[in-house]
Chain A
Amino acid sequence: MRRLFALLLGLIVAGSVFAREAPTVAADPLLEKRAMALAEELRCLVCQNQTIADSHAELAVDLKNQIREKLKAGMSEAQITDYMVARYGDFVLYRPPVKATTLPLWIGPFVLLFAALAGLFYYILRRRRSAQEQPLSEADEARVRSLLESNQERP
Protein backbone atom coordinates (compact mmCIF):
# COMPACT_ATOMS: atom_id res chain seq x y z
CA MET A 1 0.00 0.00 0.00
CA ARG A 2 2.73 2.37 1.04
CA ARG A 3 4.70 1.44 -2.06
CA LEU A 4 1.67 2.17 -4.25
CA PHE A 5 1.23 5.50 -2.53
CA ALA A 6 4.88 6.36 -3.12
CA LEU A 7 4.49 5.39 -6.75
CA LEU A 8 1.44 7.59 -7.16
CA LEU A 9 3.19 10.47 -5.46
CA GLY A 10 6.18 9.93 -7.75
CA LEU A 11 3.90 10.02 -10.79
CA ILE A 12 2.30 13.26 -9.65
CA VAL A 13 5.68 14.87 -9.12
CA ALA A 14 6.93 13.54 -12.45
CA GLY A 15 3.83 14.98 -14.10
CA SER A 16 4.52 18.43 -12.76
CA VAL A 17 8.07 18.24 -14.05
CA PHE A 18 6.71 17.95 -17.58
CA ALA A 19 3.92 20.46 -17.03
CA ARG A 20 4.17 23.62 -19.05
CA GLU A 21 4.77 26.87 -17.31
CA ALA A 22 1.65 28.91 -16.64
CA PRO A 23 0.83 31.53 -19.25
CA THR A 24 2.87 34.57 -18.45
CA VAL A 25 1.04 37.53 -17.04
CA ALA A 26 2.51 40.98 -16.99
CA ALA A 27 3.69 41.93 -13.51
CA ASP A 28 2.20 45.41 -13.79
CA PRO A 29 -1.59 45.11 -13.27
CA LEU A 30 -2.30 48.25 -15.27
CA LEU A 31 -0.31 46.91 -18.22
CA GLU A 32 -2.08 43.57 -17.94
CA LYS A 33 -5.43 45.36 -17.99
CA ARG A 34 -4.47 47.25 -21.13
CA ALA A 35 -3.17 44.07 -22.74
CA MET A 36 -6.39 42.19 -22.00
CA ALA A 37 -8.55 45.11 -23.20
CA LEU A 38 -6.69 44.99 -26.51
CA ALA A 39 -6.87 41.20 -26.64
CA GLU A 40 -10.67 41.47 -26.34
CA GLU A 41 -10.70 43.37 -29.63
CA LEU A 42 -8.77 40.79 -31.60
CA ARG A 43 -10.10 37.63 -33.13
CA CYS A 44 -8.27 34.37 -32.64
CA LEU A 45 -7.68 32.87 -36.07
CA VAL A 46 -7.45 29.34 -34.78
CA CYS A 47 -10.84 29.32 -33.08
CA GLN A 48 -12.51 31.98 -35.10
CA ASN A 49 -15.39 32.99 -32.88
CA GLN A 50 -13.29 33.71 -29.86
CA THR A 51 -11.20 36.71 -29.00
CA ILE A 52 -7.57 36.03 -28.30
CA ALA A 53 -8.32 37.05 -24.70
CA ASP A 54 -10.75 34.13 -24.37
CA SER A 55 -8.82 31.61 -26.37
CA HIS A 56 -6.31 29.16 -24.99
CA ALA A 57 -5.04 28.19 -28.41
CA GLU A 58 -1.29 28.34 -28.52
CA LEU A 59 -1.27 31.09 -31.11
CA ALA A 60 -3.60 33.19 -28.95
CA VAL A 61 -1.29 32.74 -25.96
CA ASP A 62 1.68 33.77 -28.12
CA LEU A 63 -0.17 36.81 -29.42
CA LYS A 64 -1.16 37.85 -25.91
CA ASN A 65 2.49 37.67 -24.94
CA GLN A 66 3.36 39.76 -27.98
CA ILE A 67 0.83 42.37 -26.90
CA ARG A 68 2.30 42.49 -23.38
CA GLU A 69 5.82 42.74 -24.73
CA LYS A 70 4.94 45.53 -27.11
CA LEU A 71 2.98 47.49 -24.52
CA LYS A 72 5.94 47.17 -22.20
CA ALA A 73 8.18 48.44 -24.98
CA GLY A 74 5.99 51.53 -25.11
CA MET A 75 3.96 50.87 -28.23
CA SER A 76 0.46 52.30 -28.33
CA GLU A 77 -2.72 50.26 -28.75
CA ALA A 78 -3.14 51.59 -32.30
CA GLN A 79 0.40 50.57 -33.23
CA ILE A 80 -0.15 47.05 -31.92
CA THR A 81 -3.46 46.80 -33.79
CA ASP A 82 -1.64 47.83 -36.97
CA TYR A 83 0.99 45.18 -36.25
CA MET A 84 -1.70 42.50 -36.04
CA VAL A 85 -3.57 43.72 -39.13
CA ALA A 86 -0.33 43.76 -41.14
CA ARG A 87 0.05 40.05 -40.39
CA TYR A 88 -3.45 38.68 -40.23
CA GLY A 89 -5.55 41.22 -42.12
CA ASP A 90 -8.73 43.07 -41.11
CA PHE A 91 -10.20 39.73 -40.16
CA VAL A 92 -8.48 39.88 -36.76
CA LEU A 93 -10.42 42.97 -35.81
CA TYR A 94 -13.77 42.46 -34.16
CA ARG A 95 -14.56 46.01 -35.22
CA PRO A 96 -13.36 46.18 -38.81
CA PRO A 97 -12.57 49.62 -40.25
CA VAL A 98 -15.06 51.15 -42.67
CA LYS A 99 -13.61 50.92 -46.16
CA ALA A 100 -14.61 49.71 -49.61
CA THR A 101 -14.14 46.01 -48.91
CA THR A 102 -15.93 46.08 -45.57
CA LEU A 103 -18.75 48.39 -46.65
CA PRO A 104 -21.31 45.59 -47.26
CA LEU A 105 -20.59 44.44 -43.72
CA TRP A 106 -21.41 47.83 -42.29
CA ILE A 107 -24.37 48.91 -44.39
CA GLY A 108 -25.70 45.50 -45.44
CA PRO A 109 -27.95 45.03 -42.38
CA PHE A 110 -29.42 48.50 -42.78
CA VAL A 111 -30.09 47.90 -46.47
CA LEU A 112 -31.90 44.67 -45.61
CA LEU A 113 -33.89 46.35 -42.85
CA PHE A 114 -34.87 49.17 -45.14
CA ALA A 115 -35.91 46.76 -47.89
CA ALA A 116 -38.01 44.75 -45.44
CA LEU A 117 -39.70 47.88 -44.08
CA ALA A 118 -40.40 49.14 -47.59
CA GLY A 119 -41.92 45.77 -48.50
CA LEU A 120 -44.09 45.77 -45.40
CA PHE A 121 -45.20 49.34 -45.98
CA TYR A 122 -46.11 48.57 -49.59
CA TYR A 123 -48.04 45.46 -48.54
CA ILE A 124 -50.06 47.28 -45.90
CA LEU A 125 -50.79 50.15 -48.23
CA ARG A 126 -52.00 47.84 -50.96
CA ARG A 127 -54.15 45.86 -48.60
CA ARG A 128 -55.82 48.95 -47.25
CA ARG A 129 -56.45 50.27 -50.74
CA SER A 130 -57.89 47.02 -52.01
CA ALA A 131 -60.19 46.88 -48.98
CA GLN A 132 -61.50 50.37 -49.75
CA GLU A 133 -61.90 49.76 -53.41
CA GLN A 134 -64.56 47.11 -52.99
CA PRO A 135 -67.91 48.67 -52.12
CA LEU A 136 -70.82 46.27 -51.77
CA SER A 137 -72.69 45.53 -54.93
CA GLU A 138 -76.46 46.02 -55.18
CA ALA A 139 -77.07 42.29 -54.90
CA ASP A 140 -74.80 41.95 -51.86
CA GLU A 141 -76.50 44.82 -50.14
CA ALA A 142 -79.90 43.26 -50.76
CA ARG A 143 -78.62 40.00 -49.36
CA VAL A 144 -77.25 41.67 -46.27
CA ARG A 145 -80.52 43.42 -45.71
CA SER A 146 -82.53 40.25 -46.10
CA LEU A 147 -80.17 38.39 -43.73
CA LEU A 148 -80.48 41.09 -41.12
CA GLU A 149 -84.23 41.11 -41.42
CA SER A 150 -84.49 37.35 -41.21
CA ASN A 151 -82.32 37.53 -38.09
CA GLN A 152 -84.65 39.98 -36.48
CA GLU A 153 -87.60 37.78 -37.21
CA ARG A 154 -86.03 34.89 -35.41
CA PRO A 155 -87.59 34.31 -32.03
Chain B
Amino acid sequence: MLRARFLIPLAVFAVLVVFLGVGLTLNPREVPSPLINKPAPPFQLPQLHAPDKTFAQKDMLGKVWMLNVWASWCVACREEHPNLVELARSGAVPIFGLNYKDEREDGIAWLARFGNPYRVSAYDRDGRIGIDYGVYGVPETYVIDKAGVIRYKHIGAVTPEILRDKILPLVKELNGNA
Protein backbone atom coordinates (compact mmCIF):
# COMPACT_ATOMS: atom_id res chain seq x y z
CA MET B 1 0.00 0.00 0.00
CA LEU B 2 2.69 2.38 1.10
CA ARG B 3 4.86 1.37 -1.81
CA ALA B 4 2.13 1.99 -4.35
CA ARG B 5 1.67 5.51 -3.07
CA PHE B 6 5.32 6.29 -3.62
CA LEU B 7 5.24 4.71 -7.05
CA ILE B 8 2.44 6.95 -8.33
CA PRO B 9 4.52 10.16 -8.62
CA LEU B 10 7.27 8.13 -10.22
CA ALA B 11 4.83 6.70 -12.78
CA VAL B 12 3.43 10.18 -13.50
CA PHE B 13 6.95 11.48 -13.91
CA ALA B 14 7.82 8.64 -16.28
CA VAL B 15 4.78 9.34 -18.44
CA LEU B 16 5.67 13.02 -18.49
CA VAL B 17 9.22 12.24 -19.54
CA VAL B 18 7.98 10.05 -22.38
CA PHE B 19 5.64 12.79 -23.62
CA LEU B 20 8.29 15.48 -23.38
CA GLY B 21 10.84 13.19 -25.00
CA VAL B 22 8.56 12.55 -27.97
CA GLY B 23 7.79 16.26 -28.12
CA LEU B 24 11.47 17.06 -28.41
CA THR B 25 11.85 14.90 -31.50
CA LEU B 26 8.92 16.57 -33.26
CA ASN B 27 9.38 19.71 -35.27
CA PRO B 28 6.32 21.96 -34.99
CA ARG B 29 7.35 23.74 -38.16
CA GLU B 30 6.89 20.58 -40.15
CA VAL B 31 3.23 20.52 -40.90
CA PRO B 32 2.18 17.44 -42.86
CA SER B 33 1.19 18.58 -46.32
CA PRO B 34 -2.24 17.61 -47.60
CA LEU B 35 -0.72 17.64 -51.09
CA ILE B 36 1.14 14.36 -50.66
CA ASN B 37 -0.22 11.83 -53.16
CA LYS B 38 -2.22 14.55 -54.88
CA PRO B 39 -1.54 15.83 -58.39
CA ALA B 40 0.96 18.68 -58.39
CA PRO B 41 -0.99 21.94 -58.75
CA PRO B 42 -0.79 23.16 -62.33
CA PHE B 43 1.21 26.23 -63.19
CA GLN B 44 2.78 27.90 -66.14
CA LEU B 45 5.32 30.55 -65.25
CA PRO B 46 7.97 32.54 -67.07
CA GLN B 47 11.46 31.18 -66.68
CA LEU B 48 13.89 33.02 -64.45
CA HIS B 49 16.62 33.25 -67.06
CA ALA B 50 14.37 33.60 -70.08
CA PRO B 51 11.25 35.68 -69.33
CA ASP B 52 9.86 35.02 -72.80
CA LYS B 53 9.89 31.26 -72.22
CA THR B 54 7.68 29.43 -69.76
CA PHE B 55 7.90 26.36 -67.61
CA ALA B 56 4.85 24.31 -66.67
CA GLN B 57 4.52 21.35 -64.36
CA LYS B 58 2.95 19.37 -67.22
CA ASP B 59 6.17 19.71 -69.23
CA MET B 60 7.55 17.12 -66.84
CA LEU B 61 4.85 14.46 -67.19
CA GLY B 62 6.45 11.08 -67.69
CA LYS B 63 9.51 11.96 -65.65
CA VAL B 64 10.40 11.75 -62.00
CA TRP B 65 11.60 15.17 -60.95
CA MET B 66 12.28 17.40 -58.03
CA LEU B 67 10.83 20.86 -57.52
CA ASN B 68 12.82 23.04 -55.16
CA VAL B 69 11.32 26.32 -53.94
CA TRP B 70 14.06 28.85 -53.36
CA ALA B 71 14.80 32.55 -53.11
CA SER B 72 17.90 34.68 -52.97
CA TRP B 73 16.73 36.20 -49.67
CA CYS B 74 16.39 32.81 -48.01
CA VAL B 75 19.21 31.86 -45.67
CA ALA B 76 18.43 28.16 -45.41
CA CYS B 77 18.48 27.98 -49.21
CA ARG B 78 22.12 28.91 -49.17
CA GLU B 79 22.71 26.20 -46.60
CA GLU B 80 21.15 23.47 -48.74
CA HIS B 81 22.46 24.79 -52.02
CA PRO B 82 25.76 22.83 -52.15
CA ASN B 83 23.77 19.62 -51.62
CA LEU B 84 21.55 20.44 -54.58
CA VAL B 85 24.52 21.36 -56.77
CA GLU B 86 26.08 18.04 -55.92
CA LEU B 87 22.84 16.18 -56.59
CA ALA B 88 22.50 17.91 -59.97
CA ARG B 89 26.06 16.89 -60.81
CA SER B 90 25.29 13.27 -59.99
CA GLY B 91 22.35 13.40 -62.40
CA ALA B 92 20.22 11.18 -60.15
CA VAL B 93 17.12 13.30 -60.58
CA PRO B 94 16.40 16.45 -62.60
CA ILE B 95 15.96 19.45 -60.32
CA PHE B 96 13.72 22.34 -61.25
CA GLY B 97 13.50 25.52 -59.26
CA LEU B 98 10.64 27.72 -58.25
CA ASN B 99 12.10 31.13 -57.56
CA TYR B 100 9.68 32.39 -54.93
CA LYS B 101 8.93 36.07 -54.31
CA ASP B 102 12.30 37.21 -55.50
CA GLU B 103 13.70 39.93 -57.70
CA ARG B 104 14.72 38.50 -61.03
CA GLU B 105 18.20 40.07 -61.01
CA ASP B 106 18.79 38.94 -57.43
CA GLY B 107 17.85 35.37 -58.25
CA ILE B 108 20.05 35.25 -61.34
CA ALA B 109 22.99 36.80 -59.46
CA TRP B 110 22.53 34.35 -56.60
CA LEU B 111 22.69 31.37 -58.96
CA ALA B 112 25.70 32.83 -60.73
CA ARG B 113 27.46 33.12 -57.40
CA PHE B 114 26.57 29.79 -55.78
CA GLY B 115 26.06 27.58 -58.84
CA ASN B 116 22.90 26.62 -60.66
CA PRO B 117 21.63 23.09 -60.00
CA TYR B 118 18.34 23.75 -61.77
CA ARG B 119 17.50 22.70 -65.30
CA VAL B 120 15.05 25.58 -65.27
CA SER B 121 13.83 27.93 -62.59
CA ALA B 122 10.26 29.15 -62.85
CA TYR B 123 9.79 32.71 -61.69
CA ASP B 124 6.98 33.12 -59.16
CA ARG B 125 7.16 36.85 -58.50
CA ASP B 126 3.98 37.26 -56.45
CA GLY B 127 4.13 33.87 -54.74
CA ARG B 128 0.79 32.76 -56.13
CA ILE B 129 2.04 29.36 -57.23
CA GLY B 130 3.81 29.06 -53.88
CA ILE B 131 0.42 29.33 -52.19
CA ASP B 132 -0.97 26.63 -54.49
CA TYR B 133 1.87 24.37 -53.37
CA GLY B 134 1.28 25.19 -49.72
CA VAL B 135 4.66 26.87 -49.35
CA TYR B 136 5.11 28.62 -46.03
CA GLY B 137 8.80 28.30 -45.27
CA VAL B 138 11.32 28.44 -48.06
CA PRO B 139 13.15 26.22 -48.96
CA GLU B 140 10.69 23.48 -49.68
CA THR B 141 11.31 20.49 -51.89
CA TYR B 142 8.86 18.25 -53.70
CA VAL B 143 9.41 14.93 -55.42
CA ILE B 144 6.92 14.48 -58.24
CA ASP B 145 6.37 11.18 -60.04
CA LYS B 146 5.80 10.35 -63.70
CA ALA B 147 2.06 10.82 -63.39
CA GLY B 148 2.58 14.32 -62.01
CA VAL B 149 1.67 13.33 -58.44
CA ILE B 150 3.52 14.79 -55.47
CA ARG B 151 5.06 11.89 -53.59
CA TYR B 152 7.22 13.62 -51.04
CA LYS B 153 7.65 17.06 -49.55
CA HIS B 154 10.50 18.30 -47.45
CA ILE B 155 10.28 21.56 -45.56
CA GLY B 156 13.52 23.30 -44.78
CA ALA B 157 17.03 22.72 -46.01
CA VAL B 158 17.72 19.44 -47.82
CA THR B 159 20.54 17.70 -46.02
CA PRO B 160 22.76 14.88 -47.34
CA GLU B 161 20.94 12.58 -44.87
CA ILE B 162 17.53 13.49 -46.28
CA LEU B 163 18.84 12.91 -49.79
CA ARG B 164 20.40 9.58 -48.91
CA ASP B 165 17.60 8.21 -46.73
CA LYS B 166 14.47 9.68 -48.26
CA ILE B 167 14.76 11.36 -51.62
CA LEU B 168 17.15 9.13 -53.56
CA PRO B 169 15.52 5.81 -52.53
CA LEU B 170 12.13 7.27 -53.44
CA VAL B 171 13.35 8.49 -56.82
CA LYS B 172 14.83 5.06 -57.49
CA GLU B 173 11.58 3.38 -56.53
CA LEU B 174 9.49 5.75 -58.66
CA ASN B 175 11.75 5.26 -61.65
CA GLY B 176 11.77 1.50 -61.27
CA ASN B 177 8.05 0.96 -60.94
CA ALA B 178 6.90 2.43 -64.22
Contact = CB atoms under 8 A, between A and B. Distances in A.
Interface in B101-157: 101, 126-127, 131-137
A9 interface: no
B31 A88 contact: yes
B131 A89 contact: no
Nearest to B41: A87
Contacts, number: 39
Interface size class of A (residues with CB under 8 A): 10 to 19
A90 B31 CA distance: 10
Interface stretch (A11-19, A55-63, A142-150): A55-63
Contacts of B134: 87-89
A30 interface: no
Interface SS of chain A: helix, strand, loop or mixed? helix
A45 interface: yes
Interface stretch (B32-40, B55-63, B85-93, B166-174): B32-40
Contacts of A7: none
Given A46-B136, A46-B137, A58-B101, A91 B131 contact: no
Contact of A63 (B32, B101, B126, B131): B131
B9 interface: no
- In this complex, the interface size class of chain B, counting residues with CB under 8 Å from chain A, is 10 to 19
B176 interface: no
A62 B131 contact: yes
A102 interface: no
B31 A91 contact: yes
B34 A85 contact: yes
16 contacts: A45-B31, A46-B136, A59-B131, A59-B135, A59-B136, A62-B126, A63-B131, A87-B34, A87-B35, A87-B132, A87-B134, A88-B33, A88-B34, A88-B134, A89-B34, A90-B34
Interface of B: 28-29, 31-35, 101, 126-127, 131-137
* 8 interchain residue pairs of minimum CB distance: A45-B136, A87-B134, A89-B34, A91-B31, A88-B134, A62-B127, A59-B136, A46-B136
